[in-house]
């Protein structure tokens, strides 16, 4: 190929997008979707999303596991062992170069970019059939597993059409009507008749359709393989993995992502036509919004443990395509150069709880010394008296402000993260989504379809082609 023509073509594509009023239309080509050249069919598909995972998050997780726990991350081991096809993915939505989770998931789910905030509904009301519905119509069992609310943007994007990602009470009803075979995560408020505005008892409605209802780890373990499962384990999102590990009651009652993934696969694998399962570590994104280092690292490690479950199953099964990626970057954390960077980062091993947990313990009754003691006991480093006074100022409304998207109690996430940076050598560029080109990898039949650089929408058609399903619905 003539090098000058190659670059000229790329420039014209980008310029063409701008001229048409769509800043992202020309940034990547569309995947070729061709069933004529059939390879081995993927009977099952497991699509895994570490929501909001910047490449810096992936690196920090691998550094922590490699240098402190003594082994590489599962994600990086798959690269090192050359077991996967790997690419970079552009994550834009129809309305912005920077996507939100609903538009990001809809790109995978509907195969078309939609505006931020929407679930498989275009700017003019066009509805795009979500991929798990396509799989269901072909006889496959379908399911979603997440660490946030089961009706949140990422799981919903594979299943429903709605103008708003925030219509979670309706999305819960949609799951019932669509007949998802496995639904696991948080969000009791969207299924519990005592908490829903319309007073509909969706637990009862699911049970009447034959679902096993699980509200804790013990009940989940008792579910059989021959019943669909609704597992809702908390109001709101599930607790952070770091907090769960160090709180006996939470560890006993709330399953980990890996435990939910294993149970979901066991149930779904009973279908004659195979299955399609989405697994999401949703609180990677929440921790990034909060610049919560302990939360971020251990949520990414929790994703890694679930990835291990999926890859081990797929390797043994031989008929399962596993795709693992993220929907977008968030906050772009990184270990910053300095003579003490290694030593500082090792202090994360002393963390017992997340910043969220620690800041939730503080109230106006605390003295500065009590704040200092709380931080020392649970994060292993000392803050100054001045810093303790500054933290307490947020609780007396002196400097109360919004810090982080999922910060419902207006806790001083950003201020505390800036103090923490001196001790961890980890910095952040923001508290919000970013436009990173992100990692995507594939294992199993169909992995050869993944190209070095793809659009997020390409993964929709990759899954259909790997499963050898014609896109006629």
DSSP 85-126: EEEEEE---SS-SS--HHHHHHHHHHSS---TT-BSB-TTS-
What distance in Å separates the CA atoms of residue 354 and residue 411, rounded to the nearest whole number?
13
Q: What is residue 411's predicted lDDT score, i.e. its pLDDT?
A: 92
DSSP state of 30: P
Evaluated on CA atoms 256, 260, 221, 321, the torsion sign reads negative
pLDDT over threshold 90, residue 397: no
Would you state the structure tokens that stand for residue 373, as one six-digit string?
Answer: 């003691």
Q: What is residue 399's predicted lDDT score, i.e. its pLDDT?
A: 55
Does 63 belong to an annotated binding site? no
Does 423 belong to an annotated binding site? no
Does 317 belong to an annotated binding site? no
Asked if 218 is an active-site residue, the reply is no
- What mean pLDDT, rounded, does the chain reach? 92
Q: Taking Cα atoms as reference points, which of 151, 117, 109, 130 lies closest to residue 323?
A: 109
Give the global pTM: 0.93
Beta partners for 324?
48, 441
Residue with tokens 């908490």: 195
With cut-offs at 50, 70 and 90, classify the pLDDT of residue 14.
very low
Distance of CA 315 to the CA centre of its chain: 23
Helix, strand or coil for residue 180?
A: coil
Beta partners for 321?
45
Q: Are 158 and 102 in contact (CB under 8 A)?
A: no
What distance in Å separates the CA atoms of residue 368 and residue 222, rounded to the nearest whole number?
47
Query: Cα angle at 412 between 409 and 416, to 5 degrees?
Result: 145
With cut-offs at 50, 70 and 90, classify the pLDDT of residue 410.
confident
**Pseudo-torsion of CA 366, 369, 370, 373, nearest 10°?**
160
pLDDT digits (tens, 9 = 90+) for 415-453: 999 999 999 999 999 999 999 999 999 999 999 999 999
Does 436 belong to an annotated binding site? no
Would you state the structure tokens that stand for residue 304, as one six-digit string?
Answer: 């890694």
What distance in Å separates the CA atoms of residue 417 and residue 228, rounded to the nearest whole number?
42
Does 267 belong to an annotated binding site? no
Distance of CA 446 to the CA centre of its chain: 22
What distance in Å separates the CA atoms of residue 187 and residue 231, rounded to the nearest whole number?
10
Cα→Cα distances 357→237, 307, 366, 411, 442, Å: 14, 26, 15, 10, 35
pLDDT digits (tens, 9 = 90+) for 85-109: 999 999 999 999 999 999 999 999 9
The domain 41-333+438-466 belongs to what CATH superfamily? Alkaline Phosphatase, subunit A (3.40.720.10)
Q: What is residue 38's predicted lDDT score, i.e. its pLDDT?
A: 67
State what percent of residues in the chain have pLDDT above 70.
91
Does 154 belong to an annotated binding site? yes
Does 299 belong to an annotated binding site? no
The residue annotated as part of the active site, out of 95, 101, 105, 434, is 101
Does 285 belong to an annotated binding site? yes
Does 174 belong to an annotated binding site? no
H/E segment holding residue 455 = strand 453-455
């Amino acid at each position: 190929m003539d090098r000058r023509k190659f670059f000229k073509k790329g420039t014209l594509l980008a310029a063409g997008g701008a001229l048409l009023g769509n800043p992202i239309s020309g940034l990547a080509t569309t995947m070729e979707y061709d069933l004529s050249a059939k390879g081995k069919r993927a009977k099952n598909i497991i699509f895994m999303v570490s929501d909001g995972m910047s490449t810096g998050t992936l690196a920090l997780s691998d550094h922590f596991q490699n240098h402190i726990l003594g082994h590489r991350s599962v994600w990086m081991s798959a690269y090192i062992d050359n077991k996967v096809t790997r690419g970079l993915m552009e994550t834009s939505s129809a309305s912005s170069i920077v996507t939100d989770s609903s538009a990001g998931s809809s790109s995978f789910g509907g195969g078309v970019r939609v505006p931020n905030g929407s679930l498989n509904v275009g700017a003019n009301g066009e509805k795009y059939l979500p991929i798990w519905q396509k799989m269901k119509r072909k006889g496959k069992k379908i399911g979603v597993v997440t660490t946030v609310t089961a009706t949140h943007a990422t799981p919903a994007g594979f299943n429903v059409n709605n103008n708003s990602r925030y219509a979670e009470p309706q999305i819960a009803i949609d799951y019932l009507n669509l007949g998802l075979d496995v639904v696991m995560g948080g969000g009791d408020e969207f299924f519990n008749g005592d908490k829903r505005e319309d007073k509909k008892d969706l637990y009862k409605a699911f049970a009447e359709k034959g679902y096993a209802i699980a509200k804790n780890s013990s009940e989940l373990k008792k579910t059989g393989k021959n019943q669909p499962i609704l597992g809702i384990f908390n109001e709101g999102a599930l607790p952070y993995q770091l907090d769960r590990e160090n709180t006996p009651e939470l560890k006993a009652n709330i399953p980990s992502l890996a435990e939910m993934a294993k149970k979901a696969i066991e149930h779904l694998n009973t279908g004659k036509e195979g299955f399609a399962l989405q697994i999401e570590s949703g609180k990677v994104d929440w921790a990034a919004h909060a610049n919560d280092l302990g939360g971020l690292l251990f949520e990414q490690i929790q994703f890694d443990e679930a990835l291990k479950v999926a890859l081990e199953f797929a390797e043994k099964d031989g008929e399962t395509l596993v795709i693992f990626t993220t929907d977008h970057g968030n906050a772009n954390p990184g270990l910053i150069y300095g003579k003490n960077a290694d030593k500082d980062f090792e202090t994360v091993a002393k963390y017992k709880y997340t910043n969220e947990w620690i800041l939730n313990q503080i109230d106006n009754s605390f003295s500065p010394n009590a704040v200092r003691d709380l931080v020392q006991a649970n994060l292993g480093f000392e803050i100054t008296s001045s810093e303790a006074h500054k933290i307490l100022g947020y609780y007396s409304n002196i400097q109360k402000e919004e810090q982080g998207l999922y910060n419902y109690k207006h806790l001083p996430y950003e201020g505390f993260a800036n103090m923490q940076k001196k001790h961890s050598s980890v910095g952040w560029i923001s508290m919000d989504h970013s436009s990173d080109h992100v990692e995507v990898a594939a294992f199993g039949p169909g992995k050869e379809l993944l190209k070095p650089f793809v659009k997020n929408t390409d993964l929709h058609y990759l899954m259909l082609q790997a499963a050898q399903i014609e896109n006629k619905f």
